[in-house]
Structure 1
Amino acid sequence: MRLLGVRLDSELEARLAAVARTQGRSKSDLAREAVRRYVDLYDEAYRREARRQSLRASKRDVADDYAFWETIEAKDAAWK
């Protein structure tokens, strides 16, 4: 296990200490659980979004992509 130092403002530290006392747990236990939940939530959200985009991209017609970029290049050339 590695050590991670986190700076908390005094109000948040006091609230954390109060919750820890109420639950009979250490502040470290609560902080570890909070970080784990946060990482799990956002890691899973990232994976879902990556899967969604991958599926969407696999269903796209490549010809549409070429047509889009050709239109952009034509507009760009017209500005020059």
Structure 2
Amino acid sequence: MLGVRLDSELEERLAAVARTQGRSKSDIAREAVRRYVERHDAAFLAEARRQSLAASAQDNRDDFAFWETIELASDTWK
């Protein structure tokens, strides 16, 4: 259960939309909150994926640099 306080202007606008659509204010508010949460969840997941890919790319660069150093060092040992 969630209670939300709206300023009078926003509540009047919400009521007008609800009447126009033949829906309750709660239905519209529930849909709005659901969309908001989904959009922000998607943004959070996208950012987490971006960071994971960036970290993976850095690991690959570190691995490449390590093996390149080993290869160069082994050339001097020959």
Same fold by TM-score greater than 0.5: yes
In 2, the alpha carbon distance for the partners of 1:44 and 1:11 equals: 31
CA offsets per residue over residues 7-32 of structure 1, 9 Å max, x none? Answer: 00000000000000000000000000
Identity of aligned residues (%): 74
What pairs with 1:1-80 in structure 2 (closer than 5 Å)? Answer: 3-60=1-58, 61-62=61-62
In 2, the alpha carbon distance for the partners of 1:31 and 1:54 equals: 34
CA offsets per residue over residues 29-76 of structure 1, 9 Å max, x none? Answer: 00000000000000000000100110111110448xxxxxxxxxxxxx
Q: Secondary structure at the match of 1:8?
A: coil
Q: Which structure 1 residue ranges, 4+ long, deviate > 2 Å from structure 2?
A: none
In the superposition, the TM-score normalised over structure 1's length comes to: 0.73
Q: How many residues were matched structurally?
A: 61
In 1, the alpha carbon distance for the partners of 2:62 and 2:15 equals: 57
In 2, the alpha carbon distance for the partners of 1:38 and 1:23 equals: 20
Tell me how large the CA RMSD over aligned residues is. 1.2
